Structure 1
Amino acid sequence: MNKPVTLSLGQVVRILRGKGADQHAVIVSIEDSKYVKIADGHSIKFDQAKKKNILHLMPQSFISSEVVNSLQESGRVTNGKLRFAVSRFLSENPNADQKGE
């Protein structure tokens, strides 16, 4: 059986399906139990956040406190903070950008 996936704002995810497959992004909005909006600050800007099915994402254990704080304070986050969050995740997890499990 499928176990429920817990996702939260500011969490880094790996995109499994679609044009941006095998890239990392940050959750900037939770739409409902099936969809979230993601952005990476580079190819997917915050203003045009992409709506993704959670089944097409692999959640990572990293949650960016800077992104969470910014979203809670103003409801927005800068693209620079999103780029920083993704790059910090990749620098702390050097094997994260490899394909497969």
Structure 2
Amino acid sequence: MRMMPQIGQIVKVLRGKDEGSYAVVVGLSENEPFVWIADGNKRRFDQRKRKNLLHLELQPETSSEVANSMRETGRVTNGKLRFVIQKFIERKGE
């Protein structure tokens, strides 16, 4: 059984030019198995990337700040995305 991605969930990119970097799920695509991701840095919210779930590793952490922001306003600031990813990486000790 595959985990369903959540808005605000942190993912590790496994394929493509951003391989090895982290991003946050900022949108779910109605046609499986795609999601929209952004990292607030190279991949800003306004240029979010559509990625196949097979090319992502879902991390067991979801940012409620990002999820709430997306629910309330339909968007999230790049600063918040950077902050969430930075905190996650620090906690993981990478």
TM-score (norm. length: structure 2)? 0.95
Supply the distance in 2 between the matched residues of 1:43 and 1:24 (Cα, whole angstroms): 11
Instruction: Work out the percentage of aligned pairs sharing the same amino acid.
Output: 46
State which of 13, 16, 21 in structure 1 corresponds to 2:14. 16
Q: Give the aligned CA root-mean-square deviation in angstroms.
A: 0.9
Supply the distance in 2 between the matched residues of 1:6 and 1:37 (Cα, whole angstroms): 13
Structure 2 runs not aligned, ≥5 long: none
TM-score (norm. length: structure 1)? 0.89
- Aligned residue pairs total 93
Structure 1 runs not aligned, ≥5 long: 96-101
- Opposite residue 84 of structure 1, the aligned amino acid is F
Residue 59, structure 1, aligned to residue 58, structure 2 = yes
Question: How far apart are residue 81 of structure 1 and its match?
Answer: 0.4
State which of 4, 7, 10 in structure 2 corresponds to 1:6. 4
The match for 2:79 is: 80
- Note the alpha carbon deviations across 1:7-57, whole angstroms, 9 max, x for none: 100000000000000000000000032100000000000001000000000
Residue 68, structure 1, aligned to residue 77, structure 2 = no
**Runs of 4+ with >4 A deviation:** none
Residue 41, structure 1, aligned to residue 40, structure 2 = yes
